[in-house]
Structure 1
């Protein structure tokens, strides 16, 4: 496995390069089954926190967050598919469950709220029984709680799915 080549920025949201590099080295060692200390777990990735350089360069937060989300699949015990309550809501020939990117240290949507709503959307469009079918108008009005410093779904990914789902129901 190759070490990621994060870009470097001097301004904006960025993480300390030394702290990120240390965790990345441990992730790669764990994925390759090389012992260089304690193995990294999925929980370690989800709870990772890095300092922000006061002055000087750092790695862009969005690049590091995306790498950490992808790295969950490489670790023992990592998810095989996106961990979503809506994952089993497809039927043969039906609309598939979306795969949302997760974010940790920037604003995202609360995963439980999104999962519940997506499950209702997929049940509605796939013709499955649902206690409250979703309408296009409800999709336009839906608002999810924002989260920071805890895992949430990438806002843009969810909004793109909602636009697509609204088109399905229009």
Structure 2
């Protein structure tokens, strides 16, 4: 199996090349049945998180995400092994997937802990799961997160776009 050739970007949504390369090497080794470390699992792919390079180039986030979704089919327990299973890229009908936000450091972003807590409540509400305080469309319109600079935060535009979408789900 050939290693994928991801586009290298200096700006925009990108992932740390070293972190991506390490996971891709494990995926290829698992697909070729030649372990080079801990076995990589479908859950590893679905929960993979990579840093965004502070300065300098990184791999195209979209290309890496598409590769990981495709790679699920090659691993034990993946879509091919399960038949009509679901993946992070294709959630079960009627279930909304949790969003992934880009992180920022040098420019203003939203505090990650606050966003994570609120998004968890939003997703539970939208997907009909038990939640202590269901979120309303009105609450989404009025939410304000703390801003951070020089520490890792979520990209403001990404979070705001998600909130617009979530408000539509609840309206």
1:64-109 per-residue CA deviation (whole Å, 9 max, x = no partner) reads: 000000000001121124535xxxxxxxxxxxxxxx9818xxxxxx
SS in 2 for 1:102: coil
TM-score by length of 1: 0.53
- In the other structure, the counterpart of 1:12 is 12
Aligned to 1:47: 47
**Partner residue, 1:24:** 24
Structure 1: gaps spanning 5 or more residues? 85-99, 104-110, 117-143, 151-170
Distance 1:72 1:19 in 2: 18
Q: 2 CA distance for matches of 1:146 and 1:72?
A: 17
What is the RMSD computed on CA atoms of the aligned residues?
2.6
Normalised TM-score (structure 2): 0.53
CA deviations over 1:7-58 (Å, ceiling 9, x no partner): 1000000000000000000000011011211110000000000000010000
Aligned to 1:57: 57
1:168 is matched with which residue?
Answer: none
* Residue of structure 2 in register with 1:148 after alignment: 99
From 89, 107, 115, give the equivalent of 1:102: 89
CA distance in 1, matches of 2:78, 2:96: 26
Supply the distance in 2 between the matched residues of 1:69 and 1:146 (Cα, whole angstroms): 14
* Cα distance change on mapping 1:145 and 1:28 into 2, 3 Å: closer
1:54-93 matches, within 5 Å, as: 54-80=54-80, 81=83, 83-84=85-86
